[in-house]
């Protein structure tokens, strides 16, 4: 996968997670790269300052610390370049904005992360970009919109809140044929479970706030890709003066080193909890693509190599108040936004406030669960006791 030389077989991802993005010999043998706090970089002469051929020229244009994380992400995503941004949301907005100009159309999946929708509607439309939301499961409608012209296609799978799986290789191939730049918010899968560039997508976006950092203590975004698509992203990051702090870069890298065992535990626990919920008569549907019989399971199985710990359950024949009582009665699960940290969370989102091309059935409210690193049997016991309050 990375470090391919004729004399050595490609390394497996766990080895990449340990070894990519660092060069001890370049830093006196220390295992981790230095945390470089920097604005000014000095040059030996005016001529050197003007020629700008020095590797580092100013803090905002990169440091050994940011380079280390970019190298690590490139190894994980199979990309040529990575841009770092101040939040997951800014990674989504910059990626999208980098691919469009006034007069262009952008197709955005209807189950996109809500703030990406808000940015598209408020900011991009103000600059003359037409935003079209599409149902990712309606291929005919998607192709019809592509035929009318599109500069960018924004994907997310599984979808925010409702966890539909879409046929990413198909959607990306059609986008490419139509001349559109395709990008995907890959936060749910992490690069461990889905590598979008290998499935024809141009840009892979992460809210590193979630699993990559993994500890609910910072906000961070990454965008990885090849060729002109990532060059345009980097130009936009530079034009906006977007910057990330070195301590956060370091914390994200530290989080990524343990990504594999954390995700293995999260997947094990999430499956166990999801299976328990699936067998419980009080629950409607379990929207977890890794579960046989769940919506999108076949696509998940075809394209993804694992599942993370974020999914939703629905209820039928229950009032909003009853479900609120259930969530309020949870003792281990916290109520709060974000996910991908070590602790379990529950939220009760209003799905239709985040949809325009599709409708979620109003009589099927959902609760979104983030399964953390607690003992899954304790999580099941907590859900069980809280359901008594339904
Ligand atoms: C949380 C999230 C983001 C945004 O990340 P922030 O760092 O909180 O801005 C983007 N996409 C998805 C799918 C998310 O869940």
| Structural domains of the chain sorted by starting position, each given as residue range(s) with its CATH number in brackets | 13-257 (3.40.640.10), 259-387 (3.90.1150.10)
The residues near 197 (Cβ < 8 Å, ≥ 6 apart) are 77, 78, 79, 204, 224, 225, 226
The full length of the chain comes to 390
Q: What is the per-residue pLDDT for 84?
A: 98
pLDDT tens digits, 376-390: 999 999 999 999 998
One DSSP character per residue, 163-182 reads: -----HHHHHHHHHHTTPEE
Q: Residues with Cβ within 6 A of ligand 1?
A: 87-89, 92, 113, 160, 185, 187, 207, 209-210, 219, 221, 338
Residue 233 has pLDDT above 80, yes or no: yes
pLDDT tens digits, 341-373: 999 999 999 999 999 999 999 999 999 999 999
319 CA → ligand 1 middle, Å: 29
Over residues 180-208, the mean pLDDT reads 98
Query: Could you tell me where the beta strands, DSSP code E, fall in 58-188?
Result: 81-85, 105-109, 130-134, 152-156, 181-185
Angle at 319 between CA 314 and CA 324, to 5 degrees: 75
For atom 12 of ligand 1, which residue has the closest CA? 113
Residue 5 has pLDDT above 80, yes or no: no
Residue 184 has pLDDT above 50, yes or no: yes
Residue 52 has pLDDT above 90, yes or no: no
CA atoms of 104 and 193, how far apart (whole Å): 33
Residue 164 has pLDDT above 90, yes or no: yes
How many CB atoms neighbour CB 50 within 10 A?
9
Closest CA to 304 of 153, 158, 111: 158
Phi (first) and psi of residue 182, to 5 degrees: -105, 145
Q: What is the per-residue pLDDT for 1?
A: 45
Q: Is the peptide bond before 158 cis (omega within 30 degrees of 0)?
A: yes
Angle at 280 between CA 278 and CA 281, to 5 degrees: 115
CA atoms of 142 and 348, how far apart (whole Å): 29
Instruction: Indicate the top mutation candidate among 109, 113, 208 to test ligand 1's pocket, ranked by most ligand atoms within 8 A of CB.
Output: 113
Work out the mean pLDDT of the chain and round it to a whole number.
Answer: 96
Over residues 132-161, the mean pLDDT reads 98
How many CB atoms neighbour CB 51 within 10 A?
10
Residue 3 has pLDDT above 80, yes or no: no
Residue 4 has pLDDT above 70, yes or no: no
| Weakest mean pLDDT among 1-10, 24-33, 247-256, 268-277 | 1-10
pLDDT tens digits, 7-51: 777 889 999 999 999 999 999 999 999 999 999 999 999 999 999
Task: pLDDT band for 321, please (50, 70, 90 cuts).
Answer: very high
3-state percent helix, strand, coil for the chain, nearest multiple of 5: 40, 15, 45
Task: pLDDT band for 6, please (50, 70, 90 cuts).
Answer: low
Instruction: Indicate the top mutation candidate among 119, 161, 187 to test ligand 1's pocket, ranked by most ligand atoms within 8 A of CB.
Output: 187
117 CA → ligand 1 middle, Å: 12
């Amino acid at each position: 996968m990375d470090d391919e030389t004729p004399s050595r077989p490609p390394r497996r991802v766990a080895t990449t997670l340990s070894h990519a993005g660092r060069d001890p010999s370049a830093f006196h043998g220390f295992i981790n790269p230095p945390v470089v706090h920097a604005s000014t970089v000095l040059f030996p002469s005016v001529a050197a300052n003007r020629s700008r051929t020095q590797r580092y020229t100013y803090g905002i244009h990169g440091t050994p610390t940011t380079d280390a994380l970019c190298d690590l992400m490139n190894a994980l995503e199979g990309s040529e370049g990575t841009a770092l941004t101040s939040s997951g949301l800014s990674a989504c907005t910059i990626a999208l904005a980098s691919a469009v100009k006034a007069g262009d159309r952008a197709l955005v999946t209807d189950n996109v992360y809500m703030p990406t929708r808000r940015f598209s509607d408020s900011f991009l439309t103000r600059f003359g970009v037409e935003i079209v939301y599409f149902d990712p499961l309606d291929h005919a409608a998607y192709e019809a919109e592509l035929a009318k012209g599109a500069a960018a296609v924004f994907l997310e799978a599984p979808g925010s809140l409702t966890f539909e799986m879409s046929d990413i290789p198909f959607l990306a191939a059609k986008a490419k044929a139509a001349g559109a730049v395709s990008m995907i918010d890959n936060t749910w899968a992490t690069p461990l479970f889905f590598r979008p560039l290998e499935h024809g997508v141009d840009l892979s976006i992460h809210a590193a706030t979630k699993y990559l950092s993994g500890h609910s203590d910072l906000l961070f975004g990454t965008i990885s890709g090849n060729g002109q698509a990532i060059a345009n992203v980097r130009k936009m990051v530079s034009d906006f003066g977007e910057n990330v702090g070195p301590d956060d870069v370091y914390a994200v890298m530290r989080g990524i080193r343990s990504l594999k065992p954390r995700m293995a535990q999260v997947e094990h626990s999430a499956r166990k909890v999801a299976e328990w919920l699936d067998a419980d008569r009080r629950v409607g549907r379990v929207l977890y693509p890794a579960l046989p019989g769940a919506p999108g399971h076949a696509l998940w199985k075809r394209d993804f190599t694992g599942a993370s710990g974020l999914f939703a359950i629905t209820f039928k024949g229950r009032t909003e108040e009853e479900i609120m009582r259930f969530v309020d009665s949870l003792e281990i699960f916290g109520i709060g936004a974000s996910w991908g940290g070590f602790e379990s969370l529950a939220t009760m989102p209003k799905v239709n406030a985040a949809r325009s091309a599709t409708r979620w059935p109003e009589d099927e409210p959902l609760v979104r669960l983030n399964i953390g690193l607690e003992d899954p049997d304790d999580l099941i016991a907590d859900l069980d006791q809280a359901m008594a309050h339904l």
